[in-house]
Amino acid sequence: MGDKLITILLAFSFVFSGCIGGDEQSSAIDISVEMSGAPDSIHFIKDATNGSSIEEMEVSFDFTGTESSGGALTEFWLEPGDGSPRMSTNAADSKILIRNYESYGMFLAEAGANDSGENSIHEEITITVNGAFHLNQTSPTGVDEPADLHIDSMNVNSIQSPARLEISSTITNVENFAQFPPPDDVEITWQLFDPSGELIATHTQVIGEGQSYTWTHNEENPMDGGWNLIIGDAVDEENVNQETTALMIF
């Protein structure tokens, strides 16, 4: 009985020891990637018809500290994580890769290196790209009706939802120097709708001639998708300027 017990214990010991470190991988390459430019924001400049111009966010990946004991380094590469194609460079030509992100989200990128000895290694890097949406209508005469701001949804490849939506909208009642129509107050109403169409927040403010008012609103853990900020002016023939910014922050 004692011999059988010893045999069973030895068998279990052999199987268990064979599993330790079974998933570990080693490489002759010691990778070092220094990232600059993130976290930061992409800026979407909106017009009155919801057209957008984009100020992209440039992120650089510097492989200068990467070394290999298994051969000459041949390639540095990057999977940006936002759904865009893989990037690479000949290691003899450049040690830096630059990606211009065009959409916002939190992305899981992969940066890697290969050498002439067919060794390869990569590491995961989290890239945080906030979304900043701007709608400015400013002129000496103003506009009769302020435009609405559409806040576009994040990139579908984002690994996390935004933590907060911050809105700041300033309306100025442009001073009227003409005799007709006579100067008047304006009544502005802000309405914030979530992607499902539900009204989340609203505020109405009377703004005197030549005066400004800023409405702010923060929304924690905003629903994924496109949001809409509707801005209405209840007074005809009284012009306004607006400066509105919405931030999607991770």
**Do 160 and 185 share a domain, yes or no?**
yes
**Do 213 and 144 share a domain, yes or no?**
yes
CATH of the domain at 244: 2.60.290.11
Q: What's the whole-model pTM score? A: 0.85
Asked whether residue 6 is assigned to any structural domain, the reply reads: no
Phi, psi for residue 235 in degrees, rounded to 5: -110, 120
Asked whether the beta carbons of 235 and 142 are under 8 A apart, the reply is no
CA dihedral sign of residues 104, 108, 112, 118: negative
Task: Give residue 238's domain range.
Answer: 138-249
**Do 150 and 80 share a domain, yes or no?**
no
Asked whether the beta carbons of 248 and 224 are under 8 A apart, the reply is no
Asked whether the beta carbons of 106 and 159 are under 8 A apart, the reply is yes
Banded model confidence at residue 235, pLDDT cuts 50, 70, 90: confident
CATH of the domain at 76: 2.60.40.10
**Do 142 and 234 share a domain, yes or no?**
yes
CA distances from 212 to 115, 158, 250 (A): 62, 37, 30
Asked whether the beta carbons of 186 and 238 are under 8 A apart, the reply is yes
**Do 149 and 110 share a domain, yes or no?**
no
Q: Determine if the peptide bond prior to 162 is cis (ω within 30°).
A: no
DSSP 85-141: PPEEEETTT-SEEEEEE-S-EEEEEEEEEEETTS-EEEEEEEEEEEEEEEEEE--SS
Residue corresponding to tokens 């065009």 = 102
pLDDT per residue over 12-36, tens digit each?
232 222 222 333 346 899 999 999 9
pLDDT per residue over 142-178, tens digit each?
999 999 999 999 999 999 999 999 999 999 999 876 6
**Do 152 and 235 share a domain, yes or no?**
yes
**Do 153 and 102 share a domain, yes or no?**
no
Asked whether residue 8 is assigned to any structural domain, the reply reads: no
Using a 10 angstrom Cβ sphere, with 0-12 exposed, 13-18 middle and 19 or more buried, the burial of residue 35 is middle
Residue corresponding to tokens 């976290």 = 39
**Do 142 and 124 share a domain, yes or no?**
no
pLDDT per residue over 191-208, tens digit each?
999 999 999 999 999 999
Count: domains in the chain = 2
